[in-house]
Amino acid sequence: MGVKLLKKRALHYLILVALVVVVNFFIPRLLPGSPIGTLVGENAQDMTAAEKMGVLDAYHLNDPLPLQFAYYLRDLFTLNWGVSFSRRLPITQLISSAAGWTLLFTCVSLVLYTLIGTLLGALSALRRRRGRDLPLVLGTTLAGSIPPFWIALLLLAVFGAQLGWLPTYGAYSMWQDYHGLARVLDVCRHLALPVLAMVVTSVLRYFTTARYSVLSTMCADYVRMARLRGVPQGRVTLFYVLRNALIPVFTMVMMDVGYLLSGSVLIEAVFSYPGLGTLMANAVSARDYPLIQYSFLLSSLLTIAALFLADLLYRRVDPAMEVDHA
């Protein structure tokens, strides 16, 4: 990628970051209700109007919006993200604690459903003329058509409650002091159901993308030319078809890096998994302005960073993109 094009792309993403920062400031302030109940708890009903105003003044919530925005920018760039209204803990501590569990959950899920969906999609495309891809198409379509919430509840009821094979909540056993390998296995057992729910609900997207990308690539002129030149079928499939057909899959992977942080909210909530999704959901229900702002901002910035990285790497994967922008 040329330096001029790189600067142009970077400017576009910087403008997008600026818009996200501004929108992120207004989102929690558009929520109905007042945060006073979260700030003072059950004592809010016994407080006078003057006392309530004093609490709001302490958090700058009675200041004009431009002044609140100035405080927001100052805290954002100095990493002084303050204390959560509802949890009474530093926001950086809450986010860093939840981010570790979400990172583990999302990375394992992303790798598994990308590999499974892509492999099944490519296999379905390569076997379509033999009529043996129908079970794959029907199975993945059925799994992807069920809402994630119901998939999670079904797995919870069957493997957790009824069969008792796997834990049904949390990221680890709170009442057991495991160490070493036992600790790793305990974390994996708690991770199994949330990951399985995410894989089942996400595999259809990669299956469909890989299948139709392989089908369209198999009809490309350069693939037909390779066959006419006598290139072995195995080499045609591997180097001419699959290599080019996986480019759209690569794009989906980069976009999913940001999507997973917000898309995991429902699944984390069902399994009480202590990740960023659960943290954001609890922050919204508690009208915790600072926690809402910075948790959503982190998710948005990670999405933008993933898209920018995909934009840079796309030209490495697909050299034709360089020609188009030359």
> Residues 212, 215, 220, CA angle at the centre, nearest 5°?
125
Any domain includes 24: no
CATH number of the domain residue 273 falls in:
1.10.3720.10
Q: How far apart are CA 233 and CA 123, in angstroms?
A: 15
Question: Token pair of 79, please?
Answer: 């990493």
Q: What pLDDT sits at residue 131? A: 62
Instruction: Confirm if 290 and 81 have CB atoms less than 8 A apart.
Output: yes
Q: How far apart are CA 145 and CA 127, in angstroms?
A: 23
The amino acid at residue 222 is Y
Any domain includes 4: no
Residue-wise pLDDT tens digits, 97-144: 888 888 888 888 888 988 998 888 888 877 776 566 677 777 777 777
Q: What pLDDT sits at residue 317? A: 62
Any domain includes 89: no
Ordered per-residue pLDDT tens for the chain, 326 residues? 566 767 777 888 888 888 988 888 887 677 666 666 555 555 556 666 676 676 666 666 777 878 888 888 888 888 888 788 777 788 888 888 888 888 888 888 888 988 998 888 888 877 776 566 677 777 777 777 777 778 888 888 888 777 778 887 777 777 767 777 877 888 888 888 888 888 888 888 888 888 888 888 877 777 778 777 777 877 777 777 777 778 788 777 876 765 666 667 778 878 888 888 888 888 877 777 778 888 888 878 877 887 787 777 766 665 555 544 44
Any domain includes 242: yes
Give the up-direction half-sphere exposure of residue 266: CA atoms within 13 A in the CB hemisphere.
12
Any domain includes 10: no
Q: What pLDDT sits at residue 155? A: 82
**Backbone φ and ψ of 64, nearest 5°:** -60, 150
Buried b (16+ CB within 10 A) or exposed e, 61-82: beeeeeebeeebeebbeeeebb
Q: What pLDDT sits at residue 318? A: 59
Residue-wise pLDDT tens digits, 255-303: 676 566 666 777 887 888 888 888 888 887 777 777 888 888 887 887 7
Q: What's the predicted TM-score (pTM) here?
A: 0.72
Q: How far apart are CA 117 and CA 102, in angstroms?
A: 21
Any domain includes 54: no
As for how many domains the chain has, the answer is 1
Question: Token pair of 146, please?
Answer: 């069920």
Any domain includes 163: yes
Q: What pLDDT sits at residue 261? A: 64
Q: What pLDDT sits at residue 31? A: 65
Q: How far apart are CA 262 and CA 151, in angstroms?
A: 18
Range of the domain at 278: 99-324
Q: What pLDDT sits at residue 58? A: 65
Q: What pLDDT sits at residue 326? A: 47
Any domain includes 295: yes
* Length in residues, the chain: 326
